[in-house]
Amino acid sequence: MGSVTRTPMFARLGILAALAVIAVVAIVVVAGGGEGSGGSKGGATPALAESALKGIPQSGLTLGSPKAPVTMVEFADLQCPFCAEYHRNVFPELLDRYVRTGKVRLELRLLRFLGPDSDRLARVAAAAAERNRMWQFVGLAYQRQGRENSGYATDGFINGLAADAGLKQTDAGAAAERMVRADEQAARSAGIESTPSFLIGPTGGPFTRFQPSSLTPDAFIPEIQKELRG
Amino acid sequence: MTKAIAGLALLGLAISAYLTWVHYAGIEPVCTGISDCERVQSSEYAELVGIPVAVIGVVGYAAILASLRMRVDVTALLAYLAVAFSAYLTWAEVFRIEAICQWCVASALVSLAIAVLATLRALGAPLHQRALS
């Protein structure tokens, strides 16, 4: 008698196991289609922003290993052309040389003193930081930066950035506003009045201001090396 | 057997709840030297359709606990779902993120253990319980 009922249960469990596998595969394929499978995100630019940061830990405003001995803090405005120049000319080199290797952690604090477009960009970037995708968002924002205060950062423009940065929503709510205010407070306490401005120091602080002579890797590397030597 | 599954489900629930808390508080999980939890937790695989996988874990383990009062094969089905999902996440950790998070591995092992016990429980359940279907 036992074997009569044992077989159906055995078979049923097998069917359930198969169903479970099929269900999870289906969910993952359907849900992950937009973000998990890399290439499907469309357009070369987002993929570029994604691949440059691939495998580097990101948490809130910071990029790089939390155990990195040195932290460099950048104050920037997403509308500022010199900030875009830094991001284009210096950031990739620092990323490969120091961040990927776990020596330096970067922290980005976004200000919004140039105009209303800066404000919106900074708040959505802060919302992206809450989801640990701020650096993707910022990279794309610089790549597509328009003329300062030309009103280029429309809702459509920002939503496009956010979508390409892998963000599902662009809810720049009260938490995002608090983050930007905290950044502004940090800028005030450090006496920052222009962007891009940089602080450097051991991770955890204290940080000191450093003013590169130009926006080229050569102006940053000696300062970072000095800090790494302690 | 049911008690053992309940204990394991509670353990899984605790792990998932911890990771959920860490996710929303924006802090780094406690991590051993060989793993890189932050990298895993900040990766795109940490969420599925906008839901943190830790939350999915909480719901899953809670459902397994609740199912212990239902038909034995319900628990088995939920446990198989948990194993399949954990297998996907482990695959993502190893081959995509290239970092391991010990909390995720622990949860995967817990779900595997639950699946084994739930299978044995379903096969060994008293006849009247199995005949319910």
Give me the CATH number covering residue B69.
Answer: 1.20.1440.130
CA distance A229 to A202: 11
Q: Which of A18-32, A85-99, A103-117, A156-170 has the lowest mean pLDDT?
A: A156-170
**Hey, how many other C-beta atoms are within 10 angstroms of the C-beta on B96?**
16
Note the pTM of the prediction, 2 decimals: 0.53
A166, closest residue in chain B (CA to CA): B44
Say how many domains are in chain B.
1
**A-to-B residue pairs, Cβ atoms closer than 8 angstroms:** 76
CB contact under 8 A, A16 and B80: yes
Q: Is the pLDDT of residue B125 over 90?
A: no
Q: Check CB contact under 8 Å for B38 and A57.
A: yes
Element holding B83 (H helix, E strand): helix B72-91
Mean local confidence (pLDDT), B106-130: 84
CA distance A166 to chain B (A): 8
Say what percent of chain A tops pLDDT 90. 27
Identify whether B131 is part of a domain. no
A11 and chain B in contact, CB less than 8 A: no
Of A35-49, B48-62, B86-100, give the lowest mean pLDDT range: A35-49
Judged against a pLDDT cut of 90, whether residue A152 lies above it is answered with: no
Most confident of A5-19, A110-124, B30-44: A110-124
Hey, what amino acid is at A225? Q
Q: Is residue B48 part of a domain?
A: yes
Confidence at A37, pLDDT banded by 50, 70, 90: very low
- Among the partner-chain residues A20, A36, A55, the one whose CB lies closest to the CB of B84 is A20
Among A22, A37, A58, A59, the residue to mutate for chain B (most B Cβ within 10 A) = A59
ipTM rounded to 2 decimals: 0.81
More confident residue, B35 or B104: B104
**Pairwise CA distance, residues A41 & A173, whole Å:** 26
Residue A3 in contact with partner chain B when CB distance is under 8 A? no
Residue B93 lies in a domain: yes
Residue B60 lies in domain: 2-20+36-123
Does B117 reach chain A within 8 Å, measured CB to CB? Answer: no
Which residue among A9, A28, A36 sits closest to B122, beta carbon to beta carbon?
A: A9
A32–B28 C-beta distance less than 8 A: no
Return the pLDDT at A6. 56
- Whether residues A20 and B83 touch (CB distance < 8 A) is answered with yes
pLDDT computed for residue B26 by the predictor: 66
Report the mean per-residue pLDDT for chain B.
85
Contact A180, A110 (CB under 8 A): yes
For residue A145, pLDDT over 80 is answered with yes
Q: Is the pLDDT of residue B27 over 80?
A: no
pLDDT at position A39 over 60: no
B31 domain-assigned = no
Q: Is the pLDDT of residue A45 over 70?
A: no
What is the torsion angle, in degrees rounded to the nearest 10, for the CA atoms of residue A124, residue A127, residue A131 and residue A133?
30
From A103-112, A150-159, B5-14, B111-120, the region with the lowest mean pLDDT: A150-159
Whether B73 and A66 lie within 8 Å, measured CB to CB: no
pLDDT of residue B52: 87
Instruction: Confirm if A218 and A59 have CB atoms less than 8 A apart.
Output: no
Asked if A171 has any chain B CB less than 8 Å from its own CB, the reply is: no
| pLDDT tens, residue by residue, A177-225 | 888 888 888 888 888 888 899 999 999 889 999 888 888 999 999 999 9
CB contact, 8 Å: B119 with chain A?
yes
- B26 CB near a chain A CB, below 8 Å? yes
CATH class of A44-229: alpha beta
pLDDT of res. A229: 86
In a domain, B89, yes or no: yes
In a domain, B130, yes or no: no
As a whole number of angstroms, the distance between CA A181 and CA A110 comes to 9
Q: pLDDT tier at A35 (50, 70, 90 boundaries)?
A: very low
CA dist., res. A96 & res. A71, Å (int): 15
Determine the distance in angstroms separating the CA of B42 from the nearest CA of chain A, rounded to an integer.
6
CA distance B120 to B82: 17
Residue A78 scores a pLDDT above 80: yes
